[in-house]
Structure 1
Amino acid sequence: MATNLAIDDQLLVLAQNVAGIKTKKETVNQALKEFVQRRQQEDIIDLFGEIDYDDDYDYKKLRDRN
């Protein structure tokens, strides 16, 4: 998808240098991937303490292969 964006050139160059990426396109794509991953991780962290586990569940019993 072709897109025209007004991006801060200094910020883009800094991101390229930090990441060691040569092209602007690759830098923007990497930044977007990392942004999405971070937001998804935050959503998962929000679930901590929200999941009810079965008190009778015995994971050690499932490991027994005898």
Structure 2
Amino acid sequence: MRTNIVLDDKLVKEAFSFVDVSTKKELIDIALREFVNNHRRAQLLTLRGQVHIEESYDYKTLRQERS
């Protein structure tokens, strides 16, 4: 998607100091991915205490049985 935006120069400069990319496009892509991933993690945390996992559940054994 193509778009034009005005960015805070100081914020962009600081963001560049944290990652090894050379373009603003790459920088914004990383920032958007981080933003989405952080919100996904936050949504998962809302499930805390609502999901019950059997104590006998052993994912390693299940994986071995499949292969």
TM (norm. structure 1) is 0.76
TM (norm. structure 2) is 0.75
Flag as ranges the 4+ runs of structure 1 deviating above 4 A. none
1:26-62 CA-to-partner distances (Å, cap 9, x unmatched) read 00000000000000000001100012446xx6325xx
Any stretches of 5+ residues in structure 1 without a counterpart? none
Any stretches of 5+ residues in structure 2 without a counterpart? none
> Which of the two has higher C-alpha Rg?
1
Counting aligned pairs with the same residue, the percent is: 32
The CA RMSD measured in Å over matched residues stands at: 2.4
1:20 maps onto 2:20 in alignment: yes
